Amino acid sequence: MAKYIIISGSPRAGGNSDAIAEFAVRELNESGAETEVFRVRDLDVSPCIGCDRCKQTGTCIFRDDASVLIEKLKTADGVILAAPVYYTSLPGTVKVLTDRFYVNYNPWQGIAQAPKDRKFGVVFTYGGTPDEVAEKAVDVAAYAFKDLGFGNHRSVLCGMDIEKTSFANNSDYKRKVKQLTDWMIKTGTANTYTQENIRLQFPSSNPLIKKLGRGNHNGELIYNASGVLFNAKFSELWVNLTSHYTAHEQWVAVLLNGTFISRFMVQPGNSKLCLLRGLDPATAKEVTIIRDTQLMIGETLTLHGLELDGELLPVRERKLKIEFIGDSITSGEGAIGSAAEQDWAGAFFSTLNPYTWKLAEKLDAELRVFSQSGFGVTCTWDGNDFGALPAFYENERIFMRDKNDFSEWQPDAVVINLGTNDVSGNAAPDKFQAAVLDFLRLVRRCNPSAHIVWATGMLGKPFVDEIAAAVTAFGDKNCSVLDLPEVTPETIGARGHPGALNHDQAAEALCEHLRDIR
């Protein structure tokens, strides 16, 4: 029979913590589990004095109720802590207790031998305390219980007005605590992870969180379509973001089951945002969270974590992988907004409207985008050679020297759409042709098996003869040229760029062209 320990950490009797503990006991007992309740206010606990005698003998110099509880925790299948957050962290009575867990940690030998994946549930109640303070208190508690072998944790935060019996009358908090007890008794951890406050670290240690985009490490979203994809059952979803920028704001888009749900501007600094709520927790949903603007030089956007109140499930793998290399057309400039819009602003960039995303949808493909407005094969739109995009292709990001790991993600096809800015930058045709050939060789070296398509058109057909000659000289049977439909007054978008309708046409042409790799 599974054994669970319930700890009520409030110094006050008969309050929310006691009510939560009693509710958890009933739920666990009804499942057939055995429970034991400890009320910290009733325990005789001496504070740790930092003598380090436990590091020599393996036992604490104090023999009191904390020693008894620690021994019981070593053999429990799981533990739930219910406590208030009065001011900045754990209540003092609980902190005195968790300090005593130090007996089980040896800084030279590591955590004492114990199962590392047992489950720890924490339920915090608070009134005027900010949510971020309660979240930090969760981290403190989780760290302490981890040293006793409870490495798989989940939290429920009950931010309520200071009413002495709030939990007893709150059906939403009861539902969340019941979900916590259901998770506690669910066996196996292969497809379940800490659902509250998941930390995203890329390459992700959690196989159920799929990273999207080049250079997506530690949650940093660099290029269009960078983000995360996951499948889960939940009712509410939050994200933690950090954004730094001055002139050009950043946007993020959210899709549910492959369909656009929302788009929002990220404010500078740290943000915690609720993306979805009120959903059926019994129904699986595929969620995509992506950067919806191109890389703006000098800015950063980082997705630190997400919080959801459910269960992660395996993600469906796409049939193909496609990389797109290009300029403002590929970056989605003008793909959202009317033809009257002429401001160069993040609001008029889009990840979902360009041919890149549309083609990926048609071919059931995972995509990566490496593009920058104003850049070309040899120069920028105004003739500066610092904007030669091929010079940065082997790097994770433009203007940085950190190398991209191409072995980590190999595409089935690479679509290149460059040359428009070389024309306006007055590039010499012979120099342009030589640069195209060199770039094709570089792309092939980095992607040995991919079909390479050099796409022209949409905003004129720049250097079409030179591109064709370079592809012929390249002599690779898996390399081709495709002319895309030109923009018209009916299909133009914002800032004189192709609109969504023109991108639809381009995606259809590419889909037909790439039919053999499907």
Q: Each residue of 106-127: pLDDT tens digit?
A: 543 433 344 456 899 999 999 8
Question: How far is the C-alpha of 271 from the C-alpha of 131, rounded, in Å?
Answer: 12
> Residue 365's beta-bridge partner residues?
320
Residue 204 vs residue 96, higher pLDDT: 96
**Residue in the structure block whose two tokens are 């983000």:** 227
- DSSP H or E segment with residue 209: strand 209-212
Q: Which pTM was predicted?
A: 0.64
Tokens describing residue 202: 């890329």
The CA-atom distances, in angstroms, between 517 and each of 169, 346, 364, 450, 454 are 59, 34, 12, 10, 16
Question: Does the pLDDT value for residue 189 go beyond 70?
Answer: no
Amino acid at 25: V
Q: Name the phi and psi angles at 159, rounded to 5.
A: -80, 105
Amino acid at 229: L
**What pLDDT, on a 0 to 100 scale, did the predictor assign at position 307?**
80
**What pLDDT, on a 0 to 100 scale, did the predictor assign at position 517?**
64
Best CA proximity match to 275, nearest among 312, 305, 318, 319: 305
Q: Name the phi and psi angles at 17, rounded to 5.
A: -65, -45
**Cβ proximity of 144 and 48 under 8 Å:** no
Contacts of 477 (CB under 8 A, 6+ apart): none
Helices (DSSP H) in 35-167: which residue ranges? 54-57, 65-75, 92-99, 131-146
Question: How far is the C-alpha of 367 from the C-alpha of 288, rounded, in Å?
Answer: 13
Question: Does the pLDDT value for residue 442 go beyond 80?
Answer: yes
Best CA proximity match to 409, nearest among 254, 216, 201: 216
pLDDT band (50, 70, 90) for residue 197:
very low
Question: How far is the C-alpha of 353 from the C-alpha of 333, rounded, in Å?
Answer: 10
Percentage with pLDDT > 70 across the chain: 91
Question: How far is the C-alpha of 495 from the C-alpha of 329, rounded, in Å?
Answer: 11
Question: How far is the C-alpha of 278 from the C-alpha of 289, rounded, in Å?
Answer: 18
**Mean model confidence pLDDT for the chain:** 88
Residue 490 vs residue 188, higher pLDDT: 490
The CA-atom distances, in angstroms, between 301 and each of 56, 140, 246, 298 are 47, 27, 12, 11
Best CA proximity match to 495, nearest among 376, 366, 380, 337: 337
CA R_g for the chain:
28
Residue 3 vs residue 272, higher pLDDT: 3
Contacts of 68 (CB under 8 A, 6+ apart): none
pLDDT band (50, 70, 90) for residue 27:
very high
Best CA proximity match to 6, nearest among 507, 23, 14: 23
Report pLDDT digits (tens) over 127-143. Answer: 878 888 888 899 899 88
Question: Does the pLDDT value for residue 214 go beyond 50?
Answer: yes
The length of the chain in residues reads: 518
Query: What is the average pLDDT across 272-301?
Result: 89
Question: Does the pLDDT value for residue 265 go beyond 60?
Answer: yes
**What pLDDT, on a 0 to 100 scale, did the predictor assign at position 48?**
95
The CA-atom distances, in angstroms, between 416 and each of 293, 329, 369, 370, 439 are 19, 11, 10, 10, 10
Report pLDDT digits (tens) over 240-256. Answer: 888 888 778 889 999 99
Residues 374, 379, 383, 387: what is their CA dihedral angle, to the nearest 10 degrees?
A: 60
Secondary structure of residue 493 in the 3-state scheme: coil
pLDDT band (50, 70, 90) for residue 161:
low
Tally of CA atoms within 13 A in the half-sphere of 314 that contains its CB = 4
**Residue in the structure block whose two tokens are 């009950």:** 158
pLDDT band (50, 70, 90) for residue 68:
very high
Amino acid at 128: G
Amino acid at 380: T
Among 77-86, 305-314, 371-380, name the one with the lowest average pLDDT. Answer: 305-314
**What pLDDT, on a 0 to 100 scale, did the predictor assign at position 262?**
95
Tokens describing residue 126: 């608070």
pLDDT band (50, 70, 90) for residue 399:
low
Secondary structure of residue 495 in the 3-state scheme: helix
Query: What is the average pLDDT across 14-28?
Result: 94
- What is the DSSP secondary-structure string of 498-513? B-HHHHHHHHHHHHHH
Best CA proximity match to 368, nearest among 305, 319, 414: 414
**What pLDDT, on a 0 to 100 scale, did the predictor assign at position 206?**
74
**What pLDDT, on a 0 to 100 scale, did the predictor assign at position 436?**
97
